A and B are shown apart, each in its own frame.
Chain A
Amino acid sequence: MASTSILVPAFLKAYQPANLLNSRSGKILVIVQLSGGNDGLNTVIPYRNDIYYQQRPTLAVQKNEVLQVSDQLGLNPVLSPLQSLYDNGLLSIVNNVGYPNPDRSHFRSMDIWQTASESNEYLSTGWLGRYLDSSCQGCEAAHHALEVDDELSLALKGQQKKGFAMSNPQQLKRQTNNPLLKHLAGQDHHEHEENVAYLYKIMADTYSSADYLSEKAKTHSSKMTYPASAFGKRLKQVAELISADTDTRIYYVSLSGFDTHVNQKNQQERLLKQYAEGMSAFVKDLKQNKLLDDTLIMTFSEFGRRVKQNASRGTDHGTANNLFLIGGKLKRPGFFNEGPNLSTLDKGDLIYKVDFRDIYATILDKWLEGNSKQVLNKSFQGLNLV
């Protein structure tokens, strides 16, 4: 572990009330993770494809119900709030996204997406964490990358820098109101052993960020109606922080429960509805505050599901999937590429055409002004997306 390089002077600053005037410089990235493996084929529907209807006799969305946004592909009707985004050029759908030698374990495939590793490579840092480490300029604050959750995902963990987890400011305050810790956080820790100093630094940063974020969260209160779910609340939280000009450039939000082996229809549609209503409110909110051009939202899931439905009116773990980009500055709104080829499958699974790391590379280079080669340890061409 490179333990010495982190000992820069800024590292030694003890907790001080944060500079509340700090504000954002640069574009914002919001990642929405659909955990559990969202069934892409019932999200974006190949409604002209007979194979789809043959393989899914009871699960397919009927042609007349599909929102037929293009002449080949349509959206699940519960995604209707997304139709206006599609119509207004605020949504890009990339089909057939995946990676070579796909892994069908949730945990493993999620790790592959979050670390941007090869499928037989094990990395202990995430792609956004490595971005913080290597090519994020002027992002010293811990909350520069913020996950709206109690737990921090691997995607946001770098070797030296890590993102910040906060489900809401009140919760964070409760964690930090231990008076003993508050006192310790104010201690000077120049003389500590390196790893102890590291802990003191994270503690001091947590206190600074807790102050800063709870102040910022008070500045702007959204009038928009979001879904009443936890996911809706989290999106609202993000919109409020963005609107308050918070010094955070990366937000990470998850929606889980997509592992629909049994009786898929109700469960998936309930979640997709939450997702679509949330995104629609979020986009309107940002637009009202003239922030949509500064924001890019990427939605992904760790894998799609098998083409053929199973015996329990559900679907099992699959491979390639679609990925959504939402924002005001998309280069290729609408469908970025063709839909899945259902007649050429790999043992019943879709074959990927777009490596997700090409999308990451695009975002890193074009949107976050980073260096994708450094972050991904490999050169990816990137795509004409943003």
Chain B
Amino acid sequence: MEKIKHLYGRAGFGLSIGEWEQKRKLSVSQAVNELFTKALATPPLSPPNDPDVEGFLQMSEKDKAESRKKERRLVVLQSAAWIKRMSDEKESPLLERMTLFWHGHFACQSKTSAMAGNQLNTIRKHALGNFRELVLAIAKDPSMIRFLNNQQNRKQKPNENFARELMELFTIGRGNYTEKDIKEAARAFTGWSSTAKGEFIFRARVHDYGQKTFFGKSGRFDGTDIIDMILEKKETAQFIVRKIYRYFVNEDINEKHVQQLSNSFYASDYDIAKLMQSIFLSDWFYETKNRGSKIKSPVDLVAGMMKNLHIEFENELALVFLQRSLGQSLFNPPNVAGWPGNRSWVDNSTLMIRLNLPAYLFNSKEVNFKLKEEFEAKRQNKITRRLTAKVDLNPIFTQVIGKDIEEQVDYLSTYLLPNSGKIPMPLFKRITRGKSEEDTTRLVLLGLMSMPEYQMC
């Protein structure tokens, strides 16, 4: 039962109470099987609308600025829709989780909704597929091409930005290549560009077809060759596995596990699904030290809470406010290195919002927090701070009806908290004394979700 909770916390975004009742009885292999079956059967998202490029080009500067603003708004609305998908019982939690992981790995700020949507679909398509294909698809992704200046990478004047991050952050990691390798790789990616409409285009005229020397080998390499040569190195499998291990298992790396996983990841020619399966099916994944040791990211916390309480926000922008105030805005990572995660999520300000969040939600209150002004902002932004939401507790009431306070606390803490924490039972008894049955449950939920332990998974 604790294992199932752990699995769904890490491979997904937790469980609704209905799912919990149903899945807690499964064996690990049944549950893993179910997760993968559903992920692989999930269809792609519908592609975003094509942008009106001609129309944009004819606009005045002022209208262009307006249009860019509108696009930014559409991007943030996409982020809200994504969080809803993470919390939606009908969707595949594993697919959304893997997509979120790669979104943080291939960190990229998207300027238009079409480019954000297309990139998300690309990542989603390969999230459990082959890492080689994923890297290649990212190298051809217009949003990434623009973000890392490959648009400006031309034979006459190479721009190294993409080539550098490809190696440093996306594949093999520092210490495994030289500055010369970066320069040569950049030449191989010259001409990998995007059209005004936001589609990949190979501009042969600015591509450098000359001889390059990369990792000690010489040839007329192009970008695909470079990616192949990077993936030929075992260090790449190790780098990726370490990152996955830190994200899914524990910040504290067990070298033996990482070594085994890297070897088989490499042997499988970078099959992501196989790698994830072997993690979730291993015994060590479920060891006590790996359970409840991870601080939820803001998106994890919010999506999980939405699942737990069947939350529907009246205004979608509440989800935008939460992302920003808690420090994780999708499609807008801090830089190409992604979100540093774990303890860096938490300071006095973000922690107090996190801990007060259940109280804000139960009472549809306004959050006591103002966002920093945007660089260009002239007035306080209009993003709502009021978290007006429908919280549906009926599925929980059904499960705890007739239980006394101790049984309720016991049942709900097992459901909500990893390793069930050290519950201050006298406090729960005190605050629920003389309350109706439903209010008692409400207060127990509020109390448990306000505990720092609820921040963990």
Contact = CB atoms under 8 A, between A and B. Distances in A.
B335 interface: yes
A267 B451 CA distance: 45
Contact of A180 (B251, B371, B447): B447
Given A175-B368, A180-B447, A202 B325 contact: no
Contacts of B355: 178, 181, 203
Interface in B325-348: 325, 334-337, 340, 342-344, 346-348
Contacts of A200: 452
B373 A162 contact: no
B284 interface: no
Contact of B348 (A107, A184, A209, A312): A209
B370 interface: yes
B352 A176 contact: yes
A181 B325 CA distance: 20
Contacts of B78: none
Contact of A122 (B337, B344, B422, B451): B337
A257 B376 contact: yes
B395 interface: no
Interface stretch (B116-124, B290-298, B314-322): B290-298
Interface residues of A, number: 58
Contacts of B447: 180
Contact of A183 (B337, B353, B424): B424
Contacts of A162: 347-348
Contacts of A142: 348
Contacts of B41: none
Interface residues of B, number: 55
A318 interface: no
Nearest to A256: B373
Contacts of B378: 257, 267
Given A1-B343, A36-B375, A122 B335 contact: yes
A375 to B, nearest CB: 18
B372 interface: yes
B375 A198 contact: no
The listed residue with most B CB atoms (<10 A of its CB), out of A142, A256, A261, is: A256
B82 to A, nearest CB: 21
B74 interface: no
Given A142-B348, A202-B351, A180 B431 contact: yes
A192 B295 CA distance: 13
Contacts of A171: 368
B57 interface: no
B40 interface: no
A321 to B, nearest CB: 15
Contacts of B424: 183-184, 187
Interface string A281-302: 0000000000000000000000
A149 B342 CA distance: 23
Contact of B377 (A37, A183, A256, A261): A256
B292 A312 contact: no
B456 interface: yes
Given A107-B334, A120-B164, A184-B424, A196 B294 contact: no
Interface string A170-207: 01001110101101100100011111101110110110
B423 to A, nearest CB: 11
A231 to B, nearest CB: 11
A247 to B, nearest CB: 16
A184 B352 contact: no
A257 B352 contact: no
B364 interface: no
B294 A195 contact: yes
A165 B346 contact: no
A13 to B, nearest CB: 16
B452 A184 contact: yes
A277 B344 CA distance: 36
Contacts of A191: 422
Interface in B403-457: 419, 421-422, 424, 427, 431, 446-447, 450-453, 455-456
A150 interface: yes
A154 B352 CA distance: 17
B352 A206 contact: yes
B359 interface: yes
Nearest to A162: B347
Contacts of A178: 355-356, 359, 450
A93 to B, nearest CB: 23
B369 interface: yes
A195 B342 contact: yes
A37 B343 contact: no
Given A150-B349, A193-B292, A199-B351, A256 B453 contact: no
A151 interface: yes
A167 interface: yes
Contacts of B343: 1, 195, 198
A312 B355 CA distance: 46
A254 interface: yes
A36 B351 contact: no
B52 interface: no
Contacts of B294: 195
A259 to B, nearest CB: 4
A167 B431 CA distance: 31
A108 B335 contact: yes
A111 B351 contact: no
Given A3-B252, A111-B334, A259-B375, A157 B356 contact: no
A258 interface: yes
Contacts of B346: 198-199, 202
Contacts of B283: none
B159 to A, nearest CB: 12
B335 A151 contact: no
Nearest to A143: B348
Given A107-B335, A124-B340, A258-B375, A195 B61 contact: no
A152 B348 contact: yes
The 5 closest A-B pairs by CB, nearest first: A124-B340, A199-B452, A122-B337, A36-B375, A259-B376
Interface of A: 1, 3, 35-37, 106-108, 111, 120, 122, 124, 142, 149-152, 154, 157, 162-165, 167, 171, 174-176, 178, 180-181, 183-184, 187, 191-196, 198-200, 202-203, 205-206, 209, 254, 256-259, 261-262, 267, 311-312
21 contacts: A3-B251, A3-B252, A120-B164, A149-B372, A150-B349, A150-B371, A150-B372, A151-B349, A151-B371, A151-B372, A152-B348, A157-B344, A163-B347, A180-B431, A180-B450, A193-B293, A195-B295, A199-B456, A209-B348, A258-B375, A267-B378
Given A151-B325, A203-B355, A256-B372, 14 more contacts: A35-B372, A37-B375, A122-B336, A122-B337, A124-B337, A142-B348, A152-B348, A165-B348, A180-B450, A191-B422, A195-B295, A205-B348, A258-B375, A259-B375
